Amino acid sequence: MIFIELVLENFGPYCGRQVINLYPKTDKENSRPIILLGGMNGGGKTTLMDAIRLALYGARAQCSTRGNLSYGDFLTQCVNSHTAPNDKTRVEIVFEHIENDKPVQYRVVRTWEKNPKDGKDSLGIVNKKDDTWPLEALVNTWDEYIENLLPVGISNLFLFDGEQVKELAEQEIPPPIVVDAIRALLGLELAERLAVDIEIITNRKRKELADTKDLANLEEIEQKLKQQEEESEATKEVEISLATSLKDAEKEQQEAFDKFISEGGKIAAERTQLEKQRDQKKAETEESRQGMCELAANVLPLALIEPLLTQAQTQAEKEFRISQAQIARDILFERDKRLLNWISQVGISEEQVDKIKTFLDQDVETLNSSFLQPEELWLLADAETLSQLGNVLYYLQNTKNLAKQQLGILKNKEEEIITLERQVQTAASPEDYNKLVQALQKSQSHVAEVKANWEATRRRVTELEDTIKKLKKDLQEYTVQTINRKNREHIITASAKVQETLKLFRERLTLRKLNKLEVEVTECFRYLLHKSDLVHRVAIDTHTFSLSLYDLQGKPVPKHRLSAGEKQLLAIAFLWGLARVSGRRLPVAIDTPLGRLDSSHRSNLVERYFPSASHQVILLSTDTEIGQKEVQALRENEAIAREYLLKYDSSTRQTTVQPGYFC
């Protein structure tokens, strides 16, 4: 099955007649299955999905905005606000499928006016081959016809949105709409319907075979059973309504709590603790200041003249070296005099003595020029004084470092005090705080009340189900003990055997189909997930259809270990696996497909799922979900057949369909 064309006329935000070509390029050598439609939130993406469902299923369509509206009220709601009173609203879908080994195309047309008569639309079917209009026989049997192609029970596996994926990802047990689709897909719905039909036939035969008294007793039991079943259905509806009310009440409670937090209620409740923390920080700040005072009372003031101290140290060291050189020079001079006296006594010639004396005089002059430059000596520091001055400078440097640390700590403490004082200042006043507390307590009480009613209703549903089960058992025992004792007819006995056979058939069918489904879901999930070693097998519960994950060692992998994006990929893999197990070649349409996925998971979905989900994939996305990077990747892979932009004009509240995507 392939969607060829979608036509909207005065439907929702789409004013006038607008035509969208949905035909993908399905050549074997160059398959381009994706039809990409971009639109901002509120721009009409979900309306397109509703149009497809409405065109195919009419009153049975599970449209997003219908809620509890009657079909007539829903049709009136769908009429564009700018539509003239006499103009009609129209949705058309053209699709192609194989019939008797040949491709055929039908155009399904639904039209209506505002406030339609009898709350119905007008249905027309056109054979695109010869434009035969209308096909009355097909119109009269359209529900059965489309049910064979794309049953409404499993349509949500092929036409789904991001909210459905989000709900499926967050719940341990799939929501009812998915459970119904699974049961329809596995063929359990047909088997259960057959079991009910057999029970009806059996009851008819029992009535025919029972005498007057037996019939009266039997009818009394059946009447009670019918009443209990009606009450059970009504109570279930009340339970659903209360569940919705509980959800709304919890939302109101969360809003009250958020307001309590944002307007300072929590801070006001914690004022004493904040003030205690502030006082403690002030005490710590004062302690730091005292430490600074102690440092200032020691050598720290010398930091003001540290350059002078350094200069004095340099000058003192220089003078000390000069004084040492002078002492050495005097010692050498005395030694030279003794040497000359000794030389004159040992009989050396005067010429040689003069040369030695000349050499010694030159050596003294060289020493004077190198080490004894004429300079004023004004410090006259000795070795001990130099050592003490060096110790003072070293201790001063350490004290400066310690002072910097203390200043940093003092600054941080003062900033913390300012932050705490700001928090105290933003706290609500006692009167406002009391109002916030009362509003929060009121919402909490409302939630508790609604939850108590919901739980009581749920218990009542359980009681009614137990009663119904007991009545059915009584009915069976009555017929077995009374009627079957008198009328051992083959049809009743055979019916019981058939029921047992059907029960066994359903169990084995469920196991066989679920085993195949587990394989498909595991394969799809591992294909989409970049952590290939995280999950080795996905198991599906035969009763609740909940998913369980196992690693390579066969140990369970808790779902809470999965990130939000991984949970969403698991939900998509579940839907993908169901679609593959169905064995039906059907288009896939996805509204807001990427949700909370991170970049790597988003890349896997774009590159692996979208081009492979089906032979035709209709994507309805915002610019933040499928952005420039994702579009470019799909274009480079030649996966996109057509691109459209749903251009919404906020001034007229109208949407037009234009060629091209956001980027």
What would the pLDDT profile of 518-561 be if each residue is shown by its tens digit? 888 888 888 887 666 778 888 888 777 788 888 888 888 887 77
Integer Rg of the chain from CA: 46
**Both 246 and 302 in a single domain?**
no
**Both 295 and 257 in a single domain?**
no
CA–CA–CA angle 630, 51, 174 (5° rounding): 70
**Both 265 and 276 in a single domain?**
no
Which domain-ending residue is among 379, 396, 426?
Answer: 426
Task: Tell me what the mean pLDDT of segment 593-597 comes to.
Answer: 66
Which domain-ending residue is among 492, 507, 522?
Answer: 507
Write the CB contacts of 223 (distance below 8 Å, at least 6 apart in sequence).
none
**Both 422 and 278 in a single domain?**
yes
pLDDT at res. 495 = 66
- What digits encode the pLDDT tens for the residues 123-143? 888 886 666 555 788 888 898
pLDDT at res. 134 = 59
**Both 135 and 241 in a single domain?**
no
Read off the pLDDT band of 154 (50, 70, 90).
confident
User: Could you tell me if residue 574 is inside a domain?
Assistant: no
pLDDT at res. 548 = 85
User: Could you tell me if residue 563 is inside a domain?
Assistant: no
pLDDT at res. 189 = 63
Which domain-ending residue is among 456, 485, 507?
Answer: 507
Task: Tell me what the mean pLDDT of segment 85-100 comes to.
Answer: 89
User: Could you tell me if residue 264 is inside a domain?
Assistant: yes
Give the 3-state secondary structure of residue 433.
Answer: helix
User: Could you tell me if residue 608 is inside a domain?
Assistant: no
305: β partners: none
Average pLDDT of the chain is 79
**Whether 540 contacts 546, CB under 8 Å:** yes
Alpha carbon distance 192, 200 (integer Å): 12
- What digits encode the pLDDT tens for the residues 74-83? 898 999 888 8
Q: 559-565, long-range: CB within 8 Å, 24+ apart, which pairs?
A: 559/172, 563/598, 564/169, 564/596, 565/596, 565/597, 565/598, 565/601, 565/602
**Structural domain containing residue 321:** 271-426
Alpha carbon distance 392, 503 (integer Å): 99
- Which conformational region is residue 463 in: left (phi greater than 0), alpha (psi within -120 to 50 degrees), or beta? alpha
- H helices present in 346-382, as ranges: 350-371
| Phi and psi angles of residue 374, each rounded to the nearest 5 degrees, phi first | -65, 115
pLDDT at res. 521 = 83
pLDDT at res. 371 = 53
**Both 379 and 280 in a single domain?**
yes
**Both 341 and 459 in a single domain?**
no
* Number of domains the chain is built from: 3
**Both 324 and 390 in a single domain?**
yes
Does residue 30 carry a pLDDT above 80?
no
Residue 237: CATH number of its domain: 1.10.287
Task: Tell me what the mean pLDDT of segment 568-593 comes to.
Answer: 81
Q: Please tell me the pTM assigned to this model.
A: 0.55
Residue 127: CATH number of its domain: 3.40.50.300
Does residue 5 carry a pLDDT above 90?
yes
Alpha carbon distance 126, 94 (integer Å): 9
**Alpha-carbon torsion angle 310, 314, 319, 322, nearest 10:** 170
Does residue 481 carry a pLDDT above 70?
no
**Both 208 and 290 in a single domain?**
no
| Phi and psi angles of residue 626, each rounded to the nearest 5 degrees, phi first | -105, 95
For the chain, give the percent of residues with pLDDT over 90. 9
Task: Tell me what the mean pLDDT of segment 25-36 comes to.
Answer: 77
- Residue-wise burial string across 49-67, b where 16 or more C-beta atoms lie within 10 A, e elsewhere: bbbbbbbbbbeebebeebe
**Both 473 and 588 in a single domain?**
no
Which tops the pLDDT comparison, 28 or 281? Answer: 281
**Tokens at 230, concatenated:** 């009606």
